Structure 1
Amino acid sequence: MQFKPTMSDVEIARALLDNSVPSPRRLKDAHQNQGNLCVELGNKEGMRVLEIGSREVTGASTLREKLTKATYVGFDYYPGRNVDVVGDAHRLSHYFREDEKFDLIYSTAVFEHLAMPWVVASEISKLLKVGGTLFVETHFSFSSHERPWHFFQFSDMGLRALFSPALGFECIEATMANPIAGKFSALADPYLRGRWVHGLYCHSQYLGVKRRDVESFAWGDVSVDDVVGDTFYPTPV
């Protein structure tokens, strides 16, 4: 049965929002309609599209069936339906020829399962054409799942840092969506029990364009200022 929020439910939900999180614009309803977004971005004659984490596990139709004009390649850690290339995303570029670049690379519900997501980010940069588009959706707050390989949760700023100008990207939009209303449970430390938790969102999303190649990129050579842009850590009040 579908949940029907009351006025008090809505008021509580609004009170729990973090108003510093950018409201989704291009990425509004992106979780529900992410397939349509990727088709809009990539279903053009001559375009090459790479999905990272393509194995079909839910019984839903795949984007391959909708990307009728583009060349679709599915990449996954395990073989299975909708997988063309099997391999480790941390070595993504090793599975393709140097001239096999992509116009669109996208990944949904994968980055939380990557042991070294910063390595995968640099591998994606190697395969994406200059002018190509990247769409990533992952989790900010979500149930522990698919353990033991549930490594990270990401905010919008975390995704911006992974795919920053230092790596050659321009962020078109990064945000978080699908707010969660949560409380500390009766099993929490006594001083926390029953307290509401503010600023919970299920999904985090990034849409960006690769603007330049960065030769011999190394995370050890990048400063914090290179990835945080014009933001700063909040000063004490």
Structure 2
Amino acid sequence: MRNRLGFQDGARVEVDDPQDRVLRHPINSINGWIAVAADRTIAVKLSEGHSEISAGNLRASFYPRADLDPKAAVGFTVYLDLCGVQFAGRAVSIEFVSGEVQIAELVLQVTDEAVELAASYHTGMAAKKAKLASLLKEGVKTDSRCFAPSALPDSWMVSPVLEEKRDAVSSHFYGPKIYDFLNEFPQGSIFLDAGAGLRKRPLPNVINVEIYDYPSTDVLAIGQSLPFKDNSFDGILSLAVLEHVDDPFLCAKELKRVLKPGGRVLVMIPFLQAEHGYPSHYFNATRSGVVKLFEGLTLKEQILEKSNHPILTLQQIVGVYFAGLGEDCRYEFLAMPVSDLFDLAEKHLKGEQDQMLNLDPEKAFHIAWGTTSIFQKD
């Protein structure tokens, strides 16, 4: 029975993302909080209609949140994999259980598109796994705590287990430039996404490498030591990853090693961005810096995508400065004419025109938020 707030009877559950409780992708992360003490042991179960779904389709992480009283509420991230689920309707139910007692239930609607994509991806998984097996070097092992095969070093300090994850989830969608890059290759080409994060719409011809066992992860590995044979991939994606590794030169060397002759790598790396991300944020790069990283490959082009326009550099720098001020003066700062920068950034993101967005291309590179580079192995 639902109460007047629209929640199942029992502990209150709030969902931050997706706020409308609609699942639009084959793989999803659901973030929110539940009104129980943070030290209480909670498990989750997933069902569709009257059928309980495999435990492998549902992983959950519970953690204290700075905005919540730990005596009254705990944050959660639920990782939900719809691939292979046999749908009778268009809803799934997540049960929060303490001991053998259900303390709350969260019902999520599923779009027709998500169901169709989940079925399509599930069909292509066997072929993807077979192709992956032919690319891997010796030494890749299984980890009883994870679903993806692991090539992580024994000394790796970060647990790949989602249930132990306590930080933000990296989850982005491919933009038009990425799809254009992938579609330029002949049918049957195989790609590497090195540091993929959580891919909510994974592609059957893209091998996703990550340090976390997300539902979309194909292999657990670090960029400094990729577990693939030489000359394995037709194309490689490195999307906002190299700034987060402690040896980007070694990572770039590994990417070059596993790239086929004639293959191409698309690299996105920030230039003027504030510190961010996990495990840490080590290095940004200029255009010359990324060329040095991939020395030995032929530079085909360097471009600025919409997501790297210098107006976003200004927006972020001013935003970080604003957040660092004391509350007694931060809004006075924001009320200054510099606040117009935020309006200008929003115009840019919405695709609206303004003469103050039309920078000289060379000047734009000088203060770009990041750059995109495409190289070819000769």
TM-score by length of 2: 0.38
User: CA deviation digits over 1:143-186, x for unaligned, max 9?
Assistant: 3212561001111111111112xx3x100012444113637859
> What is aligned with 1:84?
218
1:202 aligns with 2:334: no
Counterpart Cα distance in 2 of 1:34 and 1:56: 19
Shift in alpha-carbon separation, 1:56–1:148, aligned structure 2, 3 A: closer
Counterpart Cα distance in 2 of 1:86 and 1:115: 18
Counterpart Cα distance in 2 of 1:148 and 1:123: 19
Q: Which amino acid aligns with 2:262?
A: G
Counterpart Cα distance in 2 of 1:208 and 1:97: 20
- TM-superposed CA distance for 1:106, in Å, is 0.9
Listed as ranges, the matches of 1:95-110 within 5 Å are 95-98=227-230, 101-110=232-241
Decide whether the 8 Å contact of 1:76 with 1:88 is kept in 2: yes
- TM-superposed CA distance for 1:32, in Å, is 4.1
1:114 aligns with 2:245: yes
Match of 1:38 among 163, 173, 181: 181
> What is aligned with 2:209?
75
User: CA deviation digits over 1:208-234, x for unaligned, max 9?
Assistant: 1001xxxxxxxxxxxxxxxxxxxxxxx
Q: Which amino acid aligns with 2:302?
A: A
Listed as ranges, the matches of 1:1-237 within 5 Å are 32-42=175-185, 44-56=186-198, 60-62=200-202, 64=203, 71-92=205-226, 95-98=227-230, 101-146=232-277, 149-164=280-295, 167=296, 169-176=297-304, 177-180=308-311, 182=314, 199-211=366-378
Asked which structure has the greater CA Rg, the reply is 2
Q: Which amino acid aligns with 1:152?
A: F
Shift in alpha-carbon separation, 1:130–1:147, aligned structure 2, 3 A: closer
Shift in alpha-carbon separation, 1:148–1:46, aligned structure 2, 3 A: closer
Decide whether the 8 Å contact of 1:138 with 1:154 is kept in 2: yes
- TM-superposed CA distance for 1:123, in Å, is 0.7
Q: Which has the higher contact order (CA 8 A, sep 6+)?
A: 1
- TM-superposed CA distance for 1:200, in Å, is 2.0
Counterpart Cα distance in 1 of 2:376 and 2:301: 10
Decide whether the 8 Å contact of 2:244 with 2:279 is kept in 1: no
Counterpart Cα distance in 1 of 2:181 and 2:300: 15
Counterpart Cα distance in 1 of 2:196 and 2:367: 27
Shift in alpha-carbon separation, 1:133–1:203, aligned structure 2, 3 A: same
Counterpart Cα distance in 2 of 1:112 and 1:127: 20
- TM-superposed CA distance for 1:138, in Å, is 1.6
Shift in alpha-carbon separation, 1:32–1:202, aligned structure 2, 3 A: farther
Say which SS state the counterpart of residue 191 (structure 2) adopts: strand
State the identity %: 23
> What is aligned with 2:142?
none
Counterpart Cα distance in 2 of 1:210 and 1:87: 23
Q: Which amino acid aligns with 1:38?
A: F
Counterpart Cα distance in 2 of 1:61 and 1:97: 26
Say which SS state the counterpart of residue 89 (structure 1) adopts: coil
Q: Which amino acid aligns with 1:174?
A: Q
Q: Which amino acid aligns with 2:222?
A: D
User: CA deviation digits over 1:74-126, x for unaligned, max 9?
Assistant: 1112211221111111011xx1234x611001111111101110001111111
- TM-superposed CA distance for 1:45, in Å, is 2.3
Shift in alpha-carbon separation, 1:122–1:74, aligned structure 2, 3 A: same
Coordinate RMSD, CA, aligned: 2.8
Decide whether the 8 Å contact of 2:271 with 2:284 is kept in 1: yes
Detail structure 1 runs of 4+ shifted over 4 Å in the superposition. Answer: 183-188
Shift in alpha-carbon separation, 1:87–1:147, aligned structure 2, 3 A: closer
Structure 1 residue runs without a partner (length 5+): 1-30, 189-193, 212-237
